[in-house]
Amino acid sequence: MTKITDLSQLDLNGTYSYADYLNWALDETVELIKGKIQLMSPAPNVRHQRISRRLSSSIDTFLRGKSCELFVAPFDVRLYDRKKSLLASKDIYTVVQPDLCVICDISKLDTQGCNGAPNWVIEILSLGNSKKEVNIKHKLYQESGIIEYWLIFPYEEVIQQFVLNEQTETYQLLNSYSGDDQASPHLFPDLIIDLTKLFEAL
């Protein structure tokens, strides 16, 4: 199979699987959402990077010695309906690169990334993110069974914390943190994120 090195070699209206995605060596960073190519925003700005670094440092320190592991973008996460068992590359049509994700089931990890839903995903919005993109990810993470999802608004200095309701299989907004709040993940209540320090001097 010919290696794809330029977006012009692809049909942006076509449908592709993870097997196709593995054959791409593009300069641009892309995600696959239900088989459709999604161009990602330009490289994250300084504000985004500082938040990511501070969060990763706190989470990584907290997880040391525990069975869960933190990964930061770029890191491929293959998603599908949580009612399905692990799928082969040709049957997977969604590959995303969350800003940060925590995985507690190590059997989902392979040399390519994560095959299945992480336990906790954090997305830090960039100025280029549209409401449509945010809604698409929200629905995607919900249907794939990601238990906890944080959405961070760097300019508003707000964190929205969504937790999956197992009965309804939908996300509920558990908390909206701002100001001098201390955010704590539902999955790891002993982990405290001080928003004053997180958003300091951005």
* CATH classification of the domain holding 183: 3.90.1570.10
Residues 77 and 144 in one domain: yes
Kindly state whether residue 1 falls inside one of the protein's structural domains.
no
For the whole prediction, is pTM greater than 0.85?
yes
Residues 75 and 113 in one domain: yes
Domain count, the chain: 2
In a domain, 2, yes or no: no
Mean pLDDT of the chain: 92
Residues 48 and 31 in one domain: no
Q: Are 51 and 199 in contact (CB under 8 A)?
A: yes
* pLDDT given for residue 202 in this prediction: 78
DSSP secondary structure string, 28-53?
Answer: S-EEEETTEEEEPPSSP-HHHHHHHH
Q: How far apart are CA 96 and CA 182, in angstroms?
A: 28
Is residue 64 exposed (0-12), middle (13-18) or buried (19+ Cβ within 10 Å)? exposed
Same domain, 84 and 157: yes
Tell me the per-residue pLDDT of 4-42, one tens digit each, with 9 for 90 and over: 999 999 999 999 999 999 999 998 889 999 999 998 877
Residue 20 is part of which domain span? 7-38
Residue 144 has pLDDT above 90, yes or no: yes
Query: Do 170 and 107 fall into the same domain?
Result: yes
pLDDT of 84-130, one tens digit each? 666 667 789 999 999 999 999 999 999 999 999 999 999 999 877 77
